[in-house]
Amino acid sequence: MPIHTVTRGQSIWQISRIYNVPYQIIAEANGLIPPYTLVIGQSLYIPRVSRRHVVKPGESLWSISRQYNVPIDSILDVNPIESPQAIYPGQVLIIPAETNLFGTIQVNAYIEPAGSPAQELELVREVDDYLTYLSIFSYRVTETGTLLAPPNAQALVTAARNNRVAPLMVITNFRGGTFDTELARVILNNLEIQETLITNILQTLRTNNYSGVNVDFERVAPADRDRYTAFLRRLRDRIKPAGFILSTALAPKVSAAQVGAWYEAHDYGAHGVIADFVIIMTYEWGWSGGPPMAVAPINQVRRVLDYAITVIPRRKIMMGMPLYGYDWTLPYVSGGPFARRVSPVQAVQIASRYGAEIQYDQTAQSPYFRYYDAQRKQHIIWFEDPRSVLAKFRVANEYGLRGVSYWVLGSAFPQNWLMLEDYFNIEKII
């Protein structure tokens, strides 16, 4: 499956002829709208399409299968052939597009309901074929062990289940616009509050027809590391006999000794034993309040996975992937205005509007570009494109991981979903 990088002077019609794929299909796959203006350095995903093959004298289904790298059974499935031997010169065969190059994985995506319920339900419908799990972010815990539910949660659960996507409730120590260390401390140091919280989680799982829970406690104090692990064991012991899944979200560590407010309380080895699977948040190296850089540089992702697989079974690891990028105003000043989040489609549209050329960082395996806005302020955008997606898919396959997990639905990135379907068979568990 080709990924085409646009060069100077190329049009979508020229690219269509190169790959013998209708330009309308290329446009739809890449979120292009008329007049289909392309950007130098832009990465286009060229979808696979079925081809026609005229049988030549001496050819067999075996040789045709080898020529197109498509299994004989796949050719038989789409052609009215009584047996593999019953083909003849001049016969026209449909050769199906090759798919699932990397085998079977599970796929999770987070959704953060906050806007229009109708729009959020449409987000789920657009991607439900590609998901194993939908993680609804978030049920916020309180100091008394109660849960503050996100809006529209029940409708999202119903929409997920209607399309064989397993809904997960995400519980967090999120308060006041951030992950609250003190809130986590209060809960993790009081067994009575924990029992109340676990009872409320179990009741919510049952009442709202969830498949399981994803625990996303962040910025837990290092002193509460073992208490957090003990809480997860108590939660597991209550919900697993009832048939529910337990997963956790982990900060991207490169060693057990890594220090910092986001890392120390996440015991990779313990989570790997307790949870059914873990989601490692391998993104936000480039973040809205930090200096400009790739959101999920592949070299850093590899460092995290190199450590993770030494203490967590590979088939329990979901690798985090971002569906967005950031637009920083330059020069970057620590403590200054935050970068704004942009979707991959928006990023290319901005490059087109300001006449920028897209570059590609080979170390980070991520695209970026600079531009000047109408006020002559310089910007830099790091984002994701088909090349960076393929790099991450290759890593997930190479490391033999359980799958990938996306943060967060709502950013337009059509190429990602088409590539996901072409490269993997996506497992459904309901």
pLDDT in tens, 128-156: 999 999 999 999 999 999 999 999 999 99
Q: Residue 387 falls within a domain, yes or no?
A: no
Mean pLDDT of all residues in 67-80: 83
Mean pLDDT of all residues in 408-425: 95
Residues 154 and 268 in one domain: yes
Q: Is the pLDDT of residue 101 over 90?
A: no
Residues 279 and 308 in one domain: yes
Q: At what angle do helices 225-239 and 181-188 cross, to 10 degrees?
A: 60
Mean pLDDT of all residues in 200-214: 98
Q: Which of 35, 66, 95 is the last residue of a domain?
A: 95
pLDDT at 15: 96
Residues 88 and 225 in one domain: no
Total number of domains in the chain? 3
Is pTM beyond 0.85? Reply is yes
Q: Is the pLDDT of residue 220 over 90?
A: yes
Q: Which of 95, 126, 153 is the last residue of a domain?
A: 95
Q: Residue 359 falls within a domain, yes or no?
A: no
Confidence category of residue 29, pLDDT binned at 50, 70, 90:
very high
Residues 31 and 178 in one domain: no
Q: Is the pLDDT of residue 354 over 80?
A: yes
Convert 347-370 to b/e letters by CB count within 10 Å (16 or more is b): bbbbbeeeebebebbeebbbbbbb
pLDDT at 395: 98
Known catalytic residue at 218: yes
CATH of residue 168's domain is 3.20.20.80
Q: Which of 287, 278, 291, 288 is nearest to 319 (CA)?
A: 278
State the pairing for strand pair 378-382/366-372. antiparallel
Q: Where are the alpha helices (DSSP H) in 128-224?
A: 153-162, 181-188, 191-207
Confidence category of residue 8, pLDDT binned at 50, 70, 90:
very high
Q: Is the pLDDT of residue 2 over 90?
A: no
Query: What does residue 175 show for φ and ψ, rounded to 5 degrees?
Result: -155, 135
Q: Which of 168, 252, 166 is nearest to 213 (CA)?
A: 168
pLDDT at 69: 76
CATH of residue 70's domain is 3.10.350.10
Confidence category of residue 66, pLDDT binned at 50, 70, 90:
confident
Mean pLDDT of all residues in 98-116: 89
Tokens representing 296 are 């999920």
Average pLDDT, the chain: 95
Determine which one of 82, 98, 218, 357 is catalytic: 218
Looking at 73-82, 150-159, 289-298, 321-330, which range is the least confident one?
73-82
Q: Is the pLDDT of residue 100 over 80?
A: no
Q: Residue 334 falls within a domain, yes or no?
A: no
Q: Is the pLDDT of residue 21 over 70?
A: yes
Confidence category of residue 75, pLDDT binned at 50, 70, 90:
confident
Mean pLDDT of all residues in 390-402: 98
Mean pLDDT of all residues in 370-393: 98
pLDDT at 1: 60
pLDDT at 71: 82
pLDDT at 142: 98
pLDDT at 121: 96
Q: Which of 327, 317, 247 is nearest to 282 (CA)?
A: 317
